[in-house]
Amino acid sequence: MFQSLIAKLSPDKDYPERQFRIDVLTRVLRGTIYQHLPYDFHTEQKEVTREPIPIRERRPSVRSGLCKTVVDHSVSLLFAEGQFPALDCDDTPTREALTALIKETHLNEVMIEAATLGSVGSVAIWLRVLKGRIFFSVLNTQFLTPIWCEDAPNKLNRVIEQYKVKGRALKAQGYAIEEVDDATDYWFCREWDDQQETWYLPWRCDDKKANPQIDKARTQAHHLGFTPLVWVKNLPGGDQIDGVCTFEPAIDTVIEIDYQLSQAGRGLKYSSDPLLVIKEPDRYTNQEGTLFKSAANALLLDAQGDARLLEINGKAAEAVIGYVRFLRELALESIHGNRASADRIHAAQSGRAMELMNQPLIWLADKLRISYGEGALLSLLRMVVQASQIYPLTVAGEKVGKLNKKTKLSLRWPRWYAPTADDRQKDAHTLQSLTANGLLSRETALHILADTWDIGDVAAERQRIDTEMN
């Protein structure tokens, strides 16, 4: 069903194949995959020819949005307010500066956007240093092409952005576009490398011999010594550019759900306004040839006349709902979505019980932690440390000197679900027993409890404990 749906789209042959793939997956994520279909679901016949319109050519009237729901659930387990990881670092000034930077730049919001947009396969996060301040931006990779270093395949050499744009749009941006070329397609291109962000003057798409010229007015040098973008591949199993899409295995099933629910809604509408069938209709119409069917308009038929309501059996709607429930379970199972039902929870559950109930969703979020946490988030913070060696940075209104580039950065992830009072009591007894018997250090025990009890600086907390005990 998905393949027949996207077959009605016309991919641009000037773009690489992955551009079209990212485009259609982004449409699914945003819920616009049906927008190119010409007919609403209630339109059953063509106006002129009166030919019946196949259901596959109509836009569903019901959208389940199941793919977006699973993405939102998994991303919430990654970077929501209570799930964002804490930064661990041996160097206190570096840790405090980066922690303040995370709050100032709303980095959790940036990472939520990146993980959501990157669920189609990949996403890029762009770091900029403007007047000593750090800024992050999330870029769709539909028109981006990464070039990797030959001697370091995991390091970006440069990233190229290139896409088509109308001449009138370029003219509105201040480019010198002739009036006659107002509707002509142009190539827009810019490139990031380890020294500068290079812009090129737009050139006509039909000019096969064009030699792109650098736009010196817009080109900016950053001199960071590294390409200021982090390329994130969503899930393992893709290629050198894109990872595996989070929701792709469920797309066909979700499309089936949308059409089945739309058909069920159509049937219910017909049931509430059934079709009237009359023998010899010419005898019961008004002068204009129109028959009005309503509760206030009684039909008076003679002995030879006959009229009946053509109704749809309500059991068909129940069968559709049952089928949709099965499809929903199948779709969620295929993409590790949350299949737990709140109706089955009759009492407060422990954090561990919630984990077991939502285990497939946690497995999905656990994989995403590798890509977006240990990969993207730490890479961004390391870039900030490198940038501080070149530019004097300002974080939260205060000047920050050169951060310690030799210190190791790591993330401390919180529990998947907030522990209950009973969970915390059990943890306390377990840690007390382990530390008392010399099987665990007190500092490690503090690290374990840090997220649960909102301990930001474990070393400082340990010093305060030693002071109070002495």
* 458-469 and 442-450 helices, crossing angle to 10°: 130
Query: What pLDDT shows up at residue 467?
Result: 81
Which residues of the chain, if any, have pLDDT below 50?
346-347
Query: What pLDDT shows up at residue 415?
Result: 82
Q: Are β-strands 133-139 and 122-130 bridged in parallel, bridged antiparallel, or unpaired? A: antiparallel
Which among 409, 396, 384 has a CA at the least distance from the CA of 129? 384
Residue the block writes with tokens 């009359």: 278
Query: What pLDDT shows up at residue 182?
Result: 63
Contact between 125 and 383 under an 8 Å Cβ cutoff? The reply is: no
Query: What pLDDT shows up at residue 249?
Result: 93
Query: What pLDDT shows up at residue 440?
Result: 83
Question: Which residue intervals of 371-456 are DSSP H helices?
Answer: 378-388, 421-436, 442-450
Which among 163, 162, 159 has a CA at the least distance from the CA of 230? 159
Task: Compute the residue count for the chain.
Answer: 470
What is the value of pTM for the model shown? 0.82
Query: What pLDDT shows up at residue 228?
Result: 96
Query: What pLDDT shows up at residue 265?
Result: 83
Query: What pLDDT shows up at residue 105?
Result: 94
3-state helix, strand and coil shares in percent for the chain, rounded to the nearest 5: 45, 20, 40
Q: What is the distance between the alpha carbons of residues 85 and 224, in angstroms, rounded to a whole number?
A: 27
76-116 pLDDT tens trace: 999 988 889 989 888 989 999 999 999 999 999 999 999 99
Q: Are β-strands 275-279 and 306-310 bridged in parallel, bridged antiparallel, or unpaired? A: antiparallel
Query: What pLDDT shows up at residue 442?
Result: 79
Which among 252, 249, 231 has a CA at the least distance from the CA of 240? 231
Residue 131: left (phi > 0), alpha (psi -120 to 50), or beta?
left
Contact between 37 and 325 under an 8 Å Cβ cutoff? The reply is: no
Residue 235: left (phi > 0), alpha (psi -120 to 50), or beta?
beta
Query: What pLDDT shows up at residue 255?
Result: 93
Query: What pLDDT shows up at residue 81?
Result: 83
